[in-house]
Amino acid sequence: MNDDIIIGKKVLPEDFYSKSKGYKIRLTWPVPNAEGCPMNLNCLLEAYADSLRHVNQLYNEVFGLELRKVPAHAAHLIDIDVVSRMQNTFPHQFDITSSHKIRSSDDMQFAFAYNYFLMSELREINSSEIFDRFDIDNSG
């Protein structure tokens, strides 16, 4: 968990995931354009905005053009299998990100990259996995 997140009330797994609807993703404003930061924020962290644009451009090329929004600055549920698939899909980009000592414009901004990979990845699933997703009352 990021050290600047304060959890002010009880947190449950259902806050992040439901069997019937899947992952709950909270999005905020659109990815900033090249002309400046969103919501008139001071752009002291321009590398952050650049990294959002970098991942957005990459995902436009790989997953198709889409108006993407920035994930909320909040706690995120992370599935390590999804992270592994994401890193295996973009190994060069994650190697570059890992080589940086500080935030850089060509980073794979993690929360943005993870959440949109989760929403965009196409993968084959078997019939029992489909059934399990719809069997919300576990009746079999």
Q: Alpha carbon 9 to chain centroid distance?
A: 24
pLDDT band for position 22 (cuts 50, 70, 90) = confident
Angle made by CA atoms 56, 116, 16, in degrees to the nearest 5: 145
Whole-number average pLDDT of the chain = 84
Domain boundaries, the chain: 13-134
Q: What is the pTM of this model?
A: 0.77
pLDDT in tens, 32-84: 876 555 555 555 468 888 999 999 999 999 999 999 999 988 888 899 999 99
Is 108 in contact with 55 (CB distance < 8 Å)? yes
Instruction: Tell me how far apart the alpha carbons of residues 56 and 52 are, in angstroms, rounded to a whole number.
Output: 6
Q: Is the pLDDT of residue 131 over 80?
A: no
User: Which pLDDT score is estimated for 40?
Assistant: 52
Residue entry with tokens 């078997």:
126
Q: Bridge-partner residues for 131, per DSSP?
A: none
State the average pLDDT over residues 119-128.
Answer: 78
